[in-house]
Structure 1
Amino acid sequence: MPTHAPDTLSAVVFDWAGTIVDFGSCAPMGAFVKLFAQYGVRITIDQARGPMGMAKWDHIHALGQLADVRSQWLALHGREFCNADVDALYEVFTPMNAAVVADFADFVPGAVETVNAVRALGLKIGSTTGYNRPIMDILAPLAAAGGYVPDNMVCAGDLASGRPGPAMMWQCFADLDIWHPHTVVKVDDTGVGIEEGLNAGTWTVGLAVSGNAAGLPLAAWQALPAAAQAEVRSAAGATLRAAGAHYVIDTVADLLPVLDAIGQRVKAGERPRPA
């Protein structure tokens, strides 16, 4: 059923890793480190996390532009890191990431319940991801078996460009029959995912604790004392706000009150600030 009213929320578009599944967005990290090590280049987990949320080709390209990585590559291979190298690494990375993604498919606590509650409000459930189709061909069925089946899914590589551009969000609008971007809420744990929503004209909600900005698996987060948790939350929240997030919450389990607040603002005629 189309939702075209300009003063009522119509849809929520969720990211995947670090948002719905994989608390801490950990699945790709070891794969990126292992990938570059296979070519003789050392990168850290923190370096690997930097471009998170981008399409994986773009992510590899961004890592290759780091000064430390460029110098290592030049010393080892006798030439600058180039797009042909990105192509080669990408072909190795996809099966490498696909091999481990099932090990990081647990839901963020409260995610399925929150999505079900959003559906009960009459909103559509969209999804975009920095993963490509071969990786999502593994992850999506695992999520479906656990009760999460969004109304659409747009993957990196489906379109000519990905995050932080708006094309994947535009595809969501088309798939879900959305007319008014300001009636959509984008929920994401990365800066480029927030920018994706802003560039498409939607409201944006950043997830500080469950995603890449904090970068901690659930058990590691829970093991932190309260003061350390507050520091991590503050730093991650600042990163997401700097990207332009309209709201920042810990995890998707905290979303419903924010949707209510956004719904009231839309009803009052307010529009999300642009990118």
Structure 2
Amino acid sequence: MNSPNSRTFPDTSTVQGIRLVVLDMAGTTVADDGLVERAFAAAADELGVDPGSPERAGQLAYVRATMGESKISVFRHLFGTEERARRANSAFEAAYGALVDAGLSAPIPGARKAVEALRAGGLTVVLTTGFARVTQDAILDALGWRDLVALTLCPADAGGRGRPFPDMVLQAFLRTGAADDVRQIAVVGDTSYDVLSGVRAGAGLVAGVRTGAHGDAEFAAAGATHVLDSVAGLPVLLGL
């Protein structure tokens, strides 16, 4: 078998034994459509970073590269002090929430049907995010997804560390009791950090999806076992 870093990823091979599925939200089950970047612009404005400046361009590049990471962690890196990071994070969450309230949040086509198929097949599904709980809840409410899955998690629910740490995946494992072994977990996301969190958690299936921030090269470098065109293909991959 090839190493994960050089593997040609199948879209249709069936994987056995998965009992717990941990899905990312923005870019994976929920369409992003530039909302993260628009909300980041509000955060940068709050911190007085001039639009069109090299500083702003560099910060945006970092935001794109770290999609999937806890947003407060991103802002700590970008803005240095805790006070500035929290100001930026508050502005980001408020701006993203306003975009959701304006009706700009939509599911990835086939995402809800995929989740329902996974649940009908006896699997437990958990939704995770790098956003704060208030933003995660706003998205769930906008989509009518409050009762769609067994559990939803944000970084604060897992001790404050988001991706690429494995904490949210392991918290899903511990809190649901759905699996007996971490190898019975499937982790699916649109960023290299989603993939890395699954690999670090020891998940048996770690899939990148081509509907968000990153692509095949990033997924391969992070150690993905599979790449799918979208989360809609997951039930077929799992033989459901």
- For residues 49-64 of structure 1, the aligned pairs below 5 Å read 49-64=64-79
Where in structure 1 are there 5+ consecutive unaligned residues?
1-6, 65-80, 214-235, 264-275
Is residue 56–residue 90 contact of structure 1 (8 Å, CA) maintained in 2?
Answer: yes
- For residues 59-98 of structure 1, the aligned pairs below 5 Å read 59-64=74-79, 81-98=80-97
Deviations 1:101-145 (A, max 9, x none): 343321111111111111121111112111111112211122226
CA distance in 1, matches of 2:32, 2:37: 13
Measured at CA, do residues 48 and 166 of structure 1 come closer, stay the same or move farther in structure 2, by a change above 3 Å?
closer
One-letter code of the match for 2:42? K
Q: Are residue 112 (structure 1) and residue 137 (structure 2) matched?
A: no
Bigger RCO of structures 1 and 2 (CA < 8 A, at least 6 apart): 2
Give TM-score scaled by structure 2 length: 0.81
Q: Secondary structure at the match of 1:149?
A: coil
Match of 1:198 in 2: 199
Where in structure 2 are there 5+ consecutive unaligned residues?
1-15
CA distance in 1, matches of 2:44, 2:142: 28
- For residues 1-275 of structure 1, the aligned pairs below 5 Å read 8-24=17-33, 26-41=34-49, 42=51, 43-44=56-57, 45-64=60-79, 81-102=80-101, 103-144=103-144, 149-160=148-159, 161-177=161-177, 178-202=179-203, 203-208=205-210, 210-213=211-214, 236-260=215-239
CA distance in 2, matches of 1:119, 1:250: 21
Residues matched between the structures, number: 214
Q: Percent same amino acid among aligned pairs?
A: 29
CA distance in 2, matches of 1:50, 1:63: 13
Normalized per residue, the structure richer in helix is 1
Give TM-score scaled by structure 1 length: 0.72
Deviations 1:46-98 (A, max 9, x none): 4431211111101212334xxxxxxxxxxxxxxxx323321222232221221
Measured at CA, do residues 94 and 23 of structure 1 come closer, stay the same or move farther in structure 2, by a change above 3 Å?
closer
Q: Cα RMSD over matched residues? A: 2.1
Is residue 20–residue 173 contact of structure 2 (8 Å, CA) maintained in 1?
Answer: no
